[in-house]
């Protein structure tokens, strides 16, 4: 187990380093000068140079890369170019929206997908199965932003039950804040649930064909008991894998959904930062997200090892 | 199943919240007392709140005149009115301006706003390390003197007809040395409103400054909410979350508001000359016949109808129709595809040619661009449309001049001088035009200035430097019962100092 963890941690560090190089090089190559963007069309060349010097953009790229990495290793994320505030502060402020949103969506999609997947598998080949499969296809095919707009049209504009967007802040109380997060969480959860339901169904069907299931049935155990005691725990392995992957996608999907719903979360921060060429914010957030995804994958592997000891032995 | 419970709980929360909001609103309605708060809708969130260190219009839209004051400011009709200065004078040679400051003016942190602060602000804006987006406004200043705490004398190196106008812009607001470095996050000005809080990504709130020495505003609290999505803007107005939306761009939704008694739609004129810029330095556009052909090929009325629901005033040159000195040149190149084809043939392109049209993000640019591409194709100019973000547009098109055609609104007020700038992205040079600009710089007589502006408009229209389309309309949608918001928009600002609710 120790060797396994060390190996995984090393690969985590390598992936993070790759991410820093990739994001830095991409930001160097894409056109767009943050100073010009901030000062606009009337800025004079000497003013642009003064601002570039103030922002530290006048030094060579390798120096700036080294400084950035040095800062990251000591926990200093730097200061946002446009907002003139520490990136750590900005990120913390936005995480209190994005994390509850992603967790809420994850919970919603799991609660929706597991029963649907089990239901479809137990009705294999019958109408119920087809209905769930159709939902799954639809959920995968429909773009997330389109579904989000549809939700706004129905529940905010037509019915007027929920706000069309915006976020009152947690200081306004948990009620209004959670209300503001409800539609975005549903918009994120439903497409994820569609994928997860299909995976659950397939995993349950696979497990149902195993010999030990036939044995259990032969012993005289009821369908329900077999499903609960033998099938579900074994079918969970691929489901957990997908769940881990999905969580990374949820964070990515949050970028889109936060923009549709005007939620000032991490996704919106990075989206605006790209538009404003706030290089410091973009590279920090991208690396943080990369680290996060790698960490989730590590957790998924650890969860695997806990559910099913085989991979460890095989390694 | 928990999902359903969550939904029900949320619905209950919404109901409770709505009930609380209603009961809170009722006593006020019964007493028939005018509201003392205001929610202003804005499309973009400002990156920070220091107007002396950034070009983003959203900064001025929050702080100009409300929180920060220049020496003089610009009112709704584009005229100059007193702000931090209560008197000004100019020497006969036009080289020194004297400003007398309001004796009771104080910054929001309690410190006095005196001549030393004015000197600090002007010197800071023109310093070598200045990051003022409009440093050029201060270029004619030679030195700033402060004979006493309430008097400022600004000496110029040469007469500057636009000096006062420039000193009234957001880039020239007066700041204090104690707070200048932190104005981006905690702005400290001399205006009738002071900074209350900023919920990043959502809103900025200002509150009435109780120590303001001028006339007290009618509002106690003003919230600026940032709503980028057009559908969400309409929804926020319909739901009553926003009281006024001063730069409403979803023109196709206007009829809904016009036909609803709860709302009022105000249409005014602004400073955004919207045009298809042409790279005059690059063949075949260096031939005036080709540029005139493009002008004849564009059905301006159709563009205005499709892009602005027909409300934008057409323009035939680079000048706002509401300004004195405006000359109507919209009839110079009537829509005439045959004439366009003939001009192209005459210029040696009987079969037309290919070109690219780069479109920045604003919706007016994207929509106009797609229509124009089709119109140009009709006369044989095969245009490929490229959508770009702001950052590459500024770097490639605006600064490097690497483009054929682009659509953009030039929103700086009185900016016809850009046609005289060497290396400007239009790639246009004209000795006649430069001579007019040189004369304008030293002319102070209003009538003479307007005549010169008229000649300048004619020169660039005859040279068909760009294809001039329309003046970007200024549309405000707001609740009936609100008074005092700007109808026109001589500069990008939401001056709420004179806004009040009718009982």
**Domain check: are B245 and B106 in the same one?**
no
Measure in Å the smallest separation between the Cα of B20 and chain A Cα atoms: 12
pLDDT in tens, A162-219: 776 777 777 777 888 888 888 888 888 888 888 888 888 888 888 877 888 788 878 8
From chain A, the residues in CB contact with B7 under 8 A are: 182
Least confident of B229-238, B323-332, B440-449: B229-238
Q: Indicate the pLDDT class of residue A102, thresholds 50, 70 and 90.
A: confident
DSSP string, B111-151: -B--HHHHHHHHHHHHSTT---TTGGGGTTEEEEEEEETTE
pLDDT at B300 over 50: yes
Q: Which pLDDT value is given to residue A84? A: 77
**Domain check: are B279 and B424 in the same one?**
yes
**Domain check: are B388 and B295 in the same one?**
yes
pLDDT in tens, A193-206: 888 888 888 888 88
**pLDDT above 70 coverage of chain B, percent:** 93
Q: Indicate the pLDDT class of residue A50, thresholds 50, 70 and 90.
A: confident
pLDDT at A122 over 90: no
Q: Where are the alpha helices (DSSP H) in B89-227?
A: 115-126, 163-167
Q: Indicate the pLDDT class of residue A1, thresholds 50, 70 and 90.
A: low
Of B132, B156, B186, the position where a domain reaches its end is B186
The answer, for B226 touching chain A at a CB cutoff of 8 Å, is yes
**Domain check: are B321 and B441 in the same one?**
yes
**Domain check: are B83 and B204 in the same one?**
no
Least confident of A142-146, B50-54, B71-75, B215-219: A142-146
* Nearest CB neighbour to B55, from listed A33, A42, A160: A42
The answer, for B12 touching chain A at a CB cutoff of 8 Å, is no
B6 within some domain: no
B481 within some domain: yes
B416 within some domain: yes
For residues B491 and B77, what is the distance between their CA atoms, to the nearest angstrom?
A: 10
DSSP string, A93-104: HHHHHHHHHHHH
For residues A53 and A35, what is the distance between their CA atoms, to the nearest angstrom?
A: 10
Q: Indicate the pLDDT class of residue B249, thresholds 50, 70 and 90.
A: confident
**Domain check: are B87 and B158 in the same one?**
yes
For residues A190 and A144, what is the distance between their CA atoms, to the nearest angstrom?
A: 9
pLDDT at B18 over 50: no
**Domain check: are B432 and B304 in the same one?**
yes
Q: Provide the chain B residues 263-282 that lie in CB contact (below 8 A) with chain A.
A: none
* Nearest CB neighbour to A275, from listed B16, B130, B390: B390
What average pLDDT does the structure give for chain B?
A: 89
Q: Which CATH class is domain A94-275?
A: mainly alpha
pLDDT at B382 over 60: yes
Q: Where are the domains of chain A?
A: 94-275
Q: Would you call B134 and A90 a contact, using CB atoms and an 8 Å cutoff?
A: no
Q: Which pLDDT value is given to residue B371? A: 96
pLDDT at A14 over 80: yes
Q: Which pLDDT value is given to residue A238? A: 77
**Domain check: are B290 and B213 in the same one?**
no
Q: Does residue A256 contact residue A271 with C-beta atoms inside 8 Å?
A: no
Interface pTM, i.e. ipTM: 0.70
**Domain check: are B350 and B434 in the same one?**
yes
Q: Rounded to 10 degrees, what is the CA torsion of B10, B13, B19, B21?
A: -100
**Domain check: are B418 and B323 in the same one?**
yes
Q: Which pLDDT value is given to residue B19? A: 44
The answer, for B104 touching chain A at a CB cutoff of 8 Å, is no
Q: Would you call A176 and B11 a contact, using CB atoms and an 8 Å cutoff?
A: no
Measured on CA atoms in the order B152, B166, B187, A278, is the torsion positive or negative?
A: negative
Lay out the sheet containing B353-359: strands in order across.
Answer: B193-199, B203-208, B221-226, B37-42, B244-245, B467-479, B263-278, B405-410, B353-359, B381-387
**Domain check: are B348 and B483 in the same one?**
no
- The whole-number average pLDDT for the span B12-36 is 51
Q: Which pLDDT value is given to residue A311? A: 53
Q: Which pLDDT value is given to residue B32? A: 60
Q: Does residue B390 contact residue B363 with C-beta atoms inside 8 Å?
A: no
pLDDT in tens, B182-218: 999 999 999 999 999 988 778 899 999 999 998 899 9
pLDDT at A313 over 60: no
- The whole-number average pLDDT for the span A76-87 is 84
Q: Does residue B73 contact residue B498 with C-beta atoms inside 8 Å?
A: no
Q: Which pLDDT value is given to residue B118? A: 97
* Structural domain of B465: 273-471
More confident: A246 or B18:
A246
Q: Which pLDDT value is given to residue A288? A: 87
Q: Would you call B128 and A112 a contact, using CB atoms and an 8 Å cutoff?
A: no
Q: Does residue A232 contact residue A280 with C-beta atoms inside 8 Å?
A: no
Task: Return the CATH number at B221.
Answer: 3.40.190.10
Q: What is the 3-state secondary structure (H, E, C) of B13-43?
A: HHHHHHHHHHHHHHHHHHHCCCCCEEEEEEC
pLDDT in tens, B130-179: 999 999 999 999 999 999 999 999 999 998 888 999 999 999 999 999 99
Q: Indicate the pLDDT class of residue A309, thresholds 50, 70 and 90.
A: low
Q: Which pLDDT value is given to residue A287? A: 87
For residues A32 and A37, what is the distance between their CA atoms, to the nearest angstrom?
A: 8
Structurally, chain B folds into a number of domains equal to 3
Of B186, B221, B249, the position where a domain reaches its end is B186
**Domain check: are B208 and B179 in the same one?**
no
Q: Which long-range contacts (CB under 8 A, 24 or more apart) does A222-231 make?
A: A223/A122, A227/A118, A227/A122, A231/A204, A231/A207
Tokens 């294999």 belong to A124
Task: Return the CATH number at B76.
Answer: 3.90.76.10
* Nearest CB neighbour to A38, from listed B54, B136, B228: B54
What average pLDDT does the structure give for chain A?
A: 82
Q: Would you call A47 and B239 a contact, using CB atoms and an 8 Å cutoff?
A: no
């Amino acid at each position: 187990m120790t060797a396994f963890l060390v190996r995984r941690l090393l690969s985590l560090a390598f992936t993070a380093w790759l991410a820093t190089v990739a994001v830095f090089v991409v930001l160097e190559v894409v056109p767009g000068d943050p100073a010009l963007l901030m000062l606009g069309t009337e800025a004079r060349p000497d003013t642009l140079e003064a601002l570039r010097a103030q922002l530290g953009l006048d030094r060579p790229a390798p120096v700036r890369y080294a400084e950035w990495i040095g800062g990251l290793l000591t926990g200093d994320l730097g200061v946002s170019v446009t907002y003139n505030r520490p990136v750590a502060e900005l990120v913390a402020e936005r995480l209190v929206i994005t994390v509850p949103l992603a967790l809420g969506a994850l919970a919603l999609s799991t609660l929706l997908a597991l029963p649907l997947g089990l239901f479809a598998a137990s009705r294999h080949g019958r109408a119920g199965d087809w209905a769930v499969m159709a939902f799954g296809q639809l959920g995968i095919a429909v773009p997330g932003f389109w579904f989000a707009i549809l939700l706004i049209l129905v529940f905010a504009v037509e019915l007027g039950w929920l706000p069309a967007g915006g976020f009152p802040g947690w200081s306004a109380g948990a009620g209004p804040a959670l209300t503001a997060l409800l539609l975005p969480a549903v918009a994120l959860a439903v497409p994820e649930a569609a994928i997860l339901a299909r995976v659950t169904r397939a995993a349950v069907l696979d497990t149902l064909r195993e010999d030990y299931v036939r044995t259990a049935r032969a012993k005289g155990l009821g369908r329900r008991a077999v499903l609960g005691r033998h099938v579900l725990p074994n079918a969970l392995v691929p489901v957990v894998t997908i769940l881990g992957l999905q969580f990374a996608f949820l964070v990515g999907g949050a970028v889109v959904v936060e923009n549709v719903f005007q939620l000032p979360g991490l996704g919106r921060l990075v989206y605006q930062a790209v538009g404003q060429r706030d290089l410091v914010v973009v590279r920090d957030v991208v690396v943080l997200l990369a680290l996060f995804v790698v960490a989730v994958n590590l957790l998924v592997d650890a969860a695997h090892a806990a559910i099913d000891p085989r991979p460890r032995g095989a390694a | 199943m928990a999902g359903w419970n969550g939904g029900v709980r949320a619905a209950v929360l919404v109901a409770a919240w709505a009930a609380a909001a209603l009961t809170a609103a009722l006593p006020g309605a019964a007493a028939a007392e005018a509201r003392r708060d205001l929610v202003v809708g804005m499309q973009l969130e400002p990156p920070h709140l220091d107007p002396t260190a950034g070009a983003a219009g959203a900064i001025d839209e929050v702080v100009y005149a409300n929180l920060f004051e220049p020496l003089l400011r610009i009112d709704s009709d584009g005229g100059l009115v007193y702000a931090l200065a209560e008197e000004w004078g100019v020497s006969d040679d036009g080289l020194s301006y004297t400003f007398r400051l309001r004796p009771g003016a104080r910054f929001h942190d309690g410190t006095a706003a005196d001549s030393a602060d004015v000197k600090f602000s002007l010197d800071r804006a023109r310093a070598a390390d200045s990051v003022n987006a409009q440093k050029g406004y201060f270029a004619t200043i030679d030195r700033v003197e402060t004979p006493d705490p309430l008097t400022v004398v600004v000496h110029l190196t040469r007469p500057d007809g636009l000096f006062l106008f420039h000193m009234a812009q957001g880039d020239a607001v007066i700041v204090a040395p104690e707070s200048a470095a932190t104005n981006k996050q905690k702005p400290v000005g001399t205006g009738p409103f002071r900074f209350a809080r900023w919920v990043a990504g959502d809103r900025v709130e200002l509150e009435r400054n109780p120590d303001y020495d001028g006339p007290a505003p009618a509002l106690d609290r003003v919230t600026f909410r940032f709503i980028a999505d057009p559908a969400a803007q309409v929804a926020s107005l319909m739901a009553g979350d926003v009281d006024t939306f001063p730069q409403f761009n979803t023109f196709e939704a206007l009829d809904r508001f016009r036909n609803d008694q709860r709302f009022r739609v105000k249409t005014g004129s602004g400073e955004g000359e919207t045009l298809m810029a042409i790279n005059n330095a690059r063949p075949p556009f260096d031939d005036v016949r080709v540029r005139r052909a493009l002008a004849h090929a564009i059905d301006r009325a159709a563009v205005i109808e499709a892009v602005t629901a027909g409300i934008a005033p057409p323009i035939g040159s680079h000048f706002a129709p509401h300004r004195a000195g405006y000359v109507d040149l919209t009839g110079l190149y009537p829509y005439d595809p045959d004439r366009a084809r003939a001009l192209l043939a005459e210029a040696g392109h009987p079969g037309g040619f290919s070109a690219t049209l780069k479109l920045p993000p604003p919706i007016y640019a994207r929509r106009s661009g797609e229509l124009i591409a089709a119109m140009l194709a009709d006369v044989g100019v095969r245009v490929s449309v490229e959508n770009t973000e702001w950052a590459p547009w500024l770097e490639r098109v605006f600064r490097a001049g690497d483009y054929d055609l682009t659509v953009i609104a030039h929103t700086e007020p009185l900016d016809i001088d850009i046609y005289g700038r060497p290396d400007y992205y239009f790639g246009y040079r004209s000795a006649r035009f430069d001579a007019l600009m040189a004369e304008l710089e030293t002319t102070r007589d209003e009538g003479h200035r307007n005549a010169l502006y008229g000649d300048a408009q004619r020169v660039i229209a005859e040279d068909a430097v760009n294809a001039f389309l329309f003046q970007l309309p200024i549309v405000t949608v707001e609740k009936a019962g609100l008074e005092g918001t700007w109808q026109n928009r001589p500069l990008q600002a939401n001056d709420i100092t004179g806004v009040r609710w009718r009982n």
